[in-house]
Structures are given as C-alpha cells and as structure tokens.
Chain A
Amino acid sequence: MAKSAQSRAAKSGGDSTPEEILTYYRDMLLIRRFEEKAGQLYGMGLIGGFCHLYIGQEAVVVGMQAAAEQGDTVITSYRDHGHMLACGMDAKGVMAELTGRRGGYSKGKGGSMHMFSREKGFYGGHGIVGSQVPLGTGLGFAHSYREDGKVTMCYLGDGAINQGQVYESFNMAALWKLPVVYVIENNKYAMGTSVQRSSAGTELYKRGVAYGIPGERVDGMDVMSVRKTGAAALAHAREGKGPFILEMMTYRYRGHSMSDPAKYRSKEEVAKMRQEHDPIDRLREYILSNKVADEAKLKDIDREIKDIVSAATEFAQQSPEPDPSELWTDVLLEA
C-alpha cells in the first residue's frame, strides 16, 4: 500500500482523496475475496489447523492502515489474514501458509495464526487470546526507547479485553507513556459468548479510564470513520502523550472458526448486518453517489482483485510441501 505525499497530507485531518478512497475499496475487497477463497479451500480440506475469517471486519484494519505511517508496527491475535494483507504482505505467501506450503510466510510451518513480516511491520499472528497485548506493548516500548516516532497498533478482541494481562499492559503503557494504540475489534462475540454475557461494563473503550488512557468508540463498519479517528489516536501516541484505546464496533459474518455451531446468534441478525452495514457496500455506494469513480472503474478493481486471489490460490496449491527435515529446524539456533 504505497503512501503518496497527497495521502500523507490527508492524514492531518482533511478528507480522503478520491485516489485514497479507491485504495480503501480495493484493500477491503482484497481481504473479502481472499477470505472467501480461504473459506472454500478449507472446505475442500486444503487448509489444516484453524482458519478464522475476517469477513465483515475489513473496514477496521484498512482504515487504521490508511491512517498509519511507514514504520508503524502491527500485532494482532488469530483473526489475522486481513491485517497481513492490509500491511502489504503478499497474498500468495499468506495463502500458501494457510495450505501449509513451503512458499508460505512461515515455510508452511505456522499456518493461519502464525505469520510475520518485519519488513511490513507485522509482528503476528498469535493464537492465545489476549497474550499479544503485552507483546504489542513491548513493540511500543521499543519505539519509545529508540525515539523513532513510530506507533504500535495492538489489536485485540472483545473477548481478550477480559484477560488480566491486558490490564497489566495498560498500566505499563500509561505509566511510561508508550506509543501504542490499542484497537479493540468488538465484533460482539467472544467465540460464542456475547459481550453482554461476558463483560461487566460493555463500553470497552472506557477500560483504560483507571489508568488515564483516553478511549473512543468508532463505527468499525465505516472505513472513513476508522481512518479519521485512527489518525487522531495515532497522532496522540506519536506526540508522546501515551497510549490510546479505540473500540471498533464491528461484526464477523462467519463463525468464530470453521466449526461453529452458531447457536449464539440468529441468522436474521447476521443478515441484517450484511444488508445494512456492510463496509464494502457502504463505500461502494459512497463512491458511486459522490462520483468518486464510476461502475466501470469499480469493475476494473474487482477484476484486479480476482486475479490476485486466483494467483494466490494457484500458488498455494502448487508450492511444495515442507521437507520432513523441517520438523527439527528453527527450534534453537544450530551451533
């Protein structure tokens, strides 16, 4: 995701340029189509292990990345494919990791939840709910220590917010004024348990109040709102004022993982979100009604995305499997 000088200017608070708006559309669409394909490949038995799809939540990470600067760092938990793509990681490498192939970002040894790219500032991909939050705080500590002016975006879910280590992290980040934006992706369900049934106090953006961490609730189904509020939060952290909490109100259309009894919500609820709040449909309407681009231009983007996903899918099936000797590598550095 190249950042033009124009887009940098936009980040100071002005509205997005037409070019940027089309980039958001493209990036969200890439995640959507990539995830749909991943779901299919899982169904075909080509993906083992776990596969948590990001469909529905695309506006969150795309909006945040639109507000971020080169060199900022990102860490998240296991619903992570969207974050990798938004950070600019190659769709081929991500898809090949899902299928456990040598060409994957973790040599086919990590899978869906465990991919990393230092070049793109993406520090994983972590499978234990909430445990990435202290790690993200450490990434922020490094930025602070080096005084490099960069910020860590540490993503967590509404389930993770009830883990104790989140609060140990909040305290340290506030105490040492670390440049960390904690992005809570509130998709309303911690696996099968709703926020109302698992959280005392459902205004999750207020969870930093005791530590003096400011927070804000954002319409996470609207990429423009995410970018705007995200930019303000990142600026706060970048200026040395300490951490910030953003609560993104969002929704996942698919199950928690690939086997989900879906007893905890109604089909009507999911359908209503898709029909009335879909982040891609909303942006598409905005683009057309504000004449940011015409149907033909959007079709070009659709085609471009389709090609990227097809190429990734092909690569992910053709890349060789890891050699059995890989079982013993990367455990300790060989002497």
Chain B
Amino acid sequence: MSEITLVQAINRALTRAMRDDPTVVVLGEDVAKDGGVFRATEGLLAEFGEGRVIDTPLAEGAIAGLCVGLAAQGFRPVAEIQFTGFIYPIIDQMMNHASRIRTRTRGRLTCPMVLRSPCGGGIRAVEHHSESPEAIFAHMPGLRVVIPSSPARAYGLLLAAIHDPDPVVFLEPTRLYRAIKEEVPDDGASLPLDRAFVVREGSDLTLVTWGAMLKETMATGERLAAGGVSAEVIDLATLKPLDSETVLRSVAKTGRCVIIHEAPRTAGFGAEVAARIAEHGLLSLLAPIERVAGFDTVMPLLRLEQHYMPEEQRILAAARRVLAFR
C-alpha cells in the first residue's frame, strides 16, 4: 500500500462515504469540474455524477442554508468552503439554523451536514486564506468542531463527521495538506468524535494543541526530550465536544501545561482548555498554564507571517518557563 497525503485522505474518505451511502452529496464552489482548489474532491464527479457532486454559484450563505434543507430531508450534504475567510456569511446559517434545528424541532428534524474548509496559515496567503476560526464555531451550541492533524486522522474523522447525525464543522489545516504522508487503509473505519489523541507520552509537561500546530509541538517535544524532559503531547482533534478527561489525566500526571494554537490569543480555544484545567485540575498544577498563540491581529502578509505563527522557539520558551516555575 502506498502512502498518501492529508488532502488525498480527505478525498479517499469522501469517495468511501459516497460509495457506501447514496444520501451523501458533495457541493461547493469548483468542487465538481475542477475537483476543488486543493483537489480534495478530484474524481468525485467522474464516479458519482452531477447529481451528487455539485458546482454551486458563489453564494456561501445559500450553500450552507441549502445543506440544512437537504439534511432535513434525510441527505448528508458535505459542503466545501474554499477558504475559511469566506465562511463568515455562513455563520448566520450555522448559528441560527444548522446548530439549532434539532433543539428547535425537539428532535423531529436533524442536520447531519458537514462543512469542510481549509484553515490556518503558513502558506503565505494573507488574510481570508489563512485564518483559524475554530473558536467561533466552538462557541455555538449544537455544532461539533473537528480539526485533523494527519492523513489517517483526517480519513477516520471525516468519515465519522459524515456519519454523525448532527452538523460538523471540519477544518482542514491547509499547510498540512501535502506536508505529511502516511499509510491510510481504506477500511471505512471511523475515529471517535469525542476523544483527544495522546500522540506522545511523557511525564514532565503536557503540551496541548490541534491541527497544523501539532507539527511544531511534536518538534518541541523531541527537542525537550533531547534535554532530558519528557513531554506529553495531546492532539485534541475534536474541539467540541472537548475531551477534557484526557487533558486532565495528563495534567494530573505532569502538573505543567502549555497550550498551543494559531488563532488569535484572546478568547481563542486555548482559553477554554485552560479554564477546564483551572476548574477541574487546579490542585494538580505545579506552575501557571501558558498559552502560545497567534496575536490579536489580522493574519499578516508573507513577510510578517513568520512572526505571527507560533513557531518552535516560542513554544520551547514557554515550555521552559513552565518547567522552571517553582
């Protein structure tokens, strides 16, 4: 079996879901004839035809609303929003309808839709094309928010998202699309949507992250190991619902925690993780929690982007401060 990239894993999961379930339809801007700007939907039109792979007009709000209507009729729409900067008009539909249909109809209608969108920076692509809006969606009751960090997890989590009976916002880190390759068996197996993954075991320090930042966080873990520090790395993968148990279990063991994310710091999802630890694990802490995050500014153009991104040195510095605290 050959190794595939994250974007190929997305493609594989979509293909598998469409083969297994005729109610799965894919729609979005340039997803059919062009196969998507990042080629995530390549080949779907040829295999499943225009009825199930739909090029839409440029109208993000209506794309999301259309999904809610389709889902209410028993379909499982998977919409692609080309970049997360184009997702903001959709917040109306996600907040007011998709996330509330189950509650509002007391369960008579549901909304099993998936909203896929490439997210995050590090691709020299400036605002609109480099944003990390996960916290905005995590704030909406009735939505799941998922961010994969490897080809295998992208495959399993996307299948789970499509099978899930409720709406899922599925954010795909653009800079990981072609950065990592691994074997991803096309076994149709889902991964759980309520569990964080411990991707590196350790006993001195807990590093919590998700999405593309896993790369730098893992590198930091290796660097610390070279200095004799044993860091545990957790990939949250599903932000909502948050698997705080896995985080708390780790912090109970290490007593020290750094949270890393690319989105702006203030009210970023790291604040929620830190609050959970403060609420339920305060007494196991040996040092204050630190957050390494993007700044409270707009994603800058290329020459300043490197200063915005929480690179390894910043994570390492935070880890050393937390480790040194007595």
Residues A193 and B61 in contact in the complex (CB < 8 Å), given A48-B302, A100-B302, A109-B301: no
Binds A, one of B27-35, B98-106, B166-174, B271-279: B27-35
Give the residues from 314 to 334 in chain A that come closer than 8 angstroms, CB to CB, to chain B: 321-322, 324, 326-328, 331
Closest to A157 in B: B58
Q: What residues make up the interface of B, taking CB atoms closer than 8 Å to A?
A: 29-30, 33-35, 37, 55-59, 61-62, 85-86, 89, 124-129, 295-298, 300-305, 307-308
Interface string of A187-217 (1 = CB under 8 A from B): 0001111000111000000000000000000
A residues whose Cβ falls under 8 Å from a Cβ of B: 48-50, 100-101, 108-111, 113-114, 127-130, 159-160, 162-165, 190-193, 197-199, 259, 261, 263-264, 321-322, 324, 326-328, 331
Give me 16 A-to-B residue pairs in the complex whose CB atoms sit less than 8 angstroms apart, sorted by A's number. A49-B124, A49-B129, A50-B126, A100-B301, A100-B302, A113-B126, A127-B85, A162-B59, A190-B57, A191-B29, A193-B29, A193-B57, A198-B58, A321-B303, A327-B297, A327-B307
A163 to B29, CA, bound (A): 12
A164 engages B59 (CB within 8 Å): yes
The interface residues of chain A lying within 8 Å CB-to-CB of B57 are 159, 162, 190, 193, 198-199
Chain B positions within 8 Å of A100 at CB level: 301-303
Known: A49-B124, A263-B33, A324-B304. Contact between A193 and B55, CB under 8 A?
A: yes
Residue from A129, A264, A328 in contact with B34 in the complex, judged by beta carbons closer than 8 Å = A264
Q: CB-CB < 8 A to B61: which residues of A?
A: 164
Q: Which of B34, B86, B308 contacts A327 (CB 8 A)?
A: B308
Nearest 10 Cβ contacts at the A-B interface: A48-B302, A162-B57, A48-B124, A49-B126, A192-B34, A159-B58, A198-B57, A127-B128, A100-B303, A111-B301
Q: In the complex the two chains form, is B298's CB within 8 Å of A331's CB?
A: yes
* A111–B308 CA distance with the chains assembled, in angstroms: 16
Q: In angstroms, how far is the closest chain A Cβ from the Cβ of B73?
A: 22
Least CB distance from B120 to A in Å reads 15
For residue B26, give the distance in angstroms from its CB to the closest CB of chain A: 15
Contact A164 B62 (CB under 8 A): yes
Given A192-B34, A327-B295, A328-B295, check contact A49 B301 (CB 8 Å): yes
CA distance A121 to B301 in the complex (A): 24
Q: Is the CB–CB distance between A324 and B307 below 8 Å? A: yes
CA distance A190 to B33 in the complex (A): 13
Nearest A residue to B296 via CB reads A331
Taking the closest CB of chain A, its distance from the CB of B184, in whole angstroms, is 24
Cβ-neighbour of B300 out of A109, A159, A259 (below 8 A) = A109
Contact at A49–B125, with CB atoms within 8 Å?
Answer: yes
Contacts of A190 in B (CB 8 A): 29, 57-58
